Amino acid sequence: MNLRHLETKNVLLKGELAAAELDLGELDELIRVEKPLRYDLEAQLLDGSVLVQGGLELYLQCECARCLKPFTNRLELTGWACHLPLEGPEKAPVANDCVDLTPSIREDILLGLPQHPLCRPECGGLPRKTTGKTKKTGRAGAGKDAASAWNELNKLKF
């Protein structure tokens, strides 16, 4: 974003940023970024700083943490805001009158990623494998095993 354009009026920034330019690296084995980031932002110059506000949208290619099925997750950061100081010890780096918003955007994307991506909230996970054998119900052999476990605990002396 060019600071010279902000001297006279607010600047509207709308477009896409390629996934490679976000430099997110290896996010997670269940999350990949393959599509570009869409942004719709407004930047304004304040006293010694830049305020950028708007929305970010990114589609993530995910695998469900429970069933491992692939799905697309939409990460939307509405009401996104970034305050970049141009003076003082925490000033943003300026090169050729331009400030790079990518580090701030990258940080907020990383904070917005799902910790355990799920294809749907009620996902039951991988289907259970059945062997065709039926489980015996009742207490025929359970009493002996349970009794022996308690007997071993009873032998402990504290």
Mean pLDDT of the chain: 85
| 49 is a domain residue | yes
Q: Is residue 83 a part of any domain in this protein? A: yes
The residue segments making up the domain with residue 44 are: 3-112
Using DSSP's 3-state secondary structure scheme, residue 54 falls into strand
Given pLDDT bands bounded at 50, 70 and 90, which one contains residue 7?
A: confident
What is the number of residues in the chain?
A: 158
Residue 122 included in any domain: no
62 within domain boundaries: yes
* Distance separating alpha carbons of residues 24 and 99, to the nearest angstrom: 19
pTM over 0.85? The answer is no
Indicate whether 142 pLDDT > 90: no
Q: Mean per-residue pLDDT for 133-150? A: 58
Domains contained in the chain, number: 1
Q: Is residue 41 part of a domain?
A: yes
Q: How far apart are CA 46 and CA 7, in angstroms?
A: 10
Q: Is the pLDDT of residue 60 over 90?
A: yes
Residue 85 lies in a domain: yes
Percentage of the chain beyond pLDDT 70 is 89
pLDDT digits (tens, 9 = 90+) for 76-96: 999 999 999 988 888 888 888
Encoded tokens for 79: 């009401």
Q: Is residue 129 part of a domain?
A: no
> How far are the Cα atoms of 44, 46, 77, 120, 131 from residue 9, in angstroms, in the given order?
7, 11, 25, 44, 71
CA within 13 Å, CB half, 9 = 3
